Amino acid sequence: MTEAQRPPLPPFTFESAVEKARLAEDGWNSRDPARVALAYTVDSQWRNRAEFVTGREAIVAFLSRKWRRELDYRLIKELWAFGGNRIAVRFAYEWHDDSGNWFRSFGNENWEFDNSGLMRKRYACINDLPIRADDRCFHWPLGRRPDDHPGLSELGF
C-alpha cells in the first residue's frame, strides 16, 4: 500500500517551498501530534536538539511530551533556502512552562522529502530565550497563525 501524496511535491519552486513551510507551521500550530506525524514518512529520521527520533510512533510520543511541557505554543516558520527535494527554514515560537515562565525559542530546520512530499529527514537546532510575558509578540488565538499576522522578518527576528 502506498501512502497518499502530500503536495506540494519536489522538486520545489520558491512558491511551493513557501507553501510547504506554511503547511508545516499550520500543522505544528494545531498541537495535534497524530496530525503532525502524518506529514512524515513512516521511518522519518529526526534530530531535535540532542534527541534522535525515528518513525511516526516516536514522533507522536515526542510531540506529546513537547506540548505537555511547552504550553500555549505559537510558532512561525519562514523559508530560508530550497533546492530539489530539500527545504531549510528558520523559525521562532513562544511558549511558557507550568510555572508561568515565558520563552521564545529560535531555530533552524533542514528538511528532506520523498517523491510523495512526505518529510523523511528533519534536523532541528533550537535555542531558548527567556522572555517576560509583556515581551511576547505572538498573540493570535491558539491554532493557525492568521494570514495578516506578521512573519519573522516583519517582526525583526
Taking only the tens place, the pLDDT of each residue in 78-126 is: 999 999 999 999 999 999 999 999 999 999 999 999 999 999 999 999 9
Number of Cβ within a 10 Å radius of residue 44: 21
Q: What is the pLDDT of residue 1?
A: 40
Per-residue pLDDT, 139: 96
pLDDT number for residue 4: 85
Q: Is residue 148 situated within a structural domain? A: yes
Could you tell me the pTM of the whole model? 0.96
pLDDT level of residue 2 (50, 70, 90 thresholds): low
Closest CA to 2 of 56, 45, 41: 41
Asked if residue 28 lies in contact with residue 145, where contact means CB atoms within 8 angstroms, the answer is: no
Q: Which residue has the higher pLDDT, 28 or 3?
A: 28
The answer to whether position 2 is within a domain reads no
Longest dimension (CA), the chain: 50
In a domain, 87, yes or no: yes
Q: Tell how strand 51-54 and strand 40-48 pair up.
A: antiparallel
Tell whether 31 is covered by a domain.
yes
Contact 39, 27 (CB under 8 A): yes
Instruction: Give strand pairing partners of 103.
Output: 95, 130
End-to-end CA distance of the chain: 43
Cell of 131: 522572555
CATH number of the domain where residue 30 is located: 3.10.450.50
Inside any domain, residue 20? yes
| HSE-CB of 113 using CA atoms within 13 angstroms | 25
Q: Each residue of 116-152: pLDDT tens digit? A: 999 999 999 999 999 999 999 999 999 999 999 999 9
Domain total of the chain: 1
Domain assignment of residue 22, given as a range: 14-155
d(CA 156, CA 10): 30
For residue 7, being part of any structural domain is answered with: no
In a domain, 1, yes or no: no
pLDDT, average across residues 43-55 = 97
Q: Identify whether 5 is part of a domain.
A: no
For 12-28, write each residue's pLDDT tens digit.
999 999 999 999 999 99
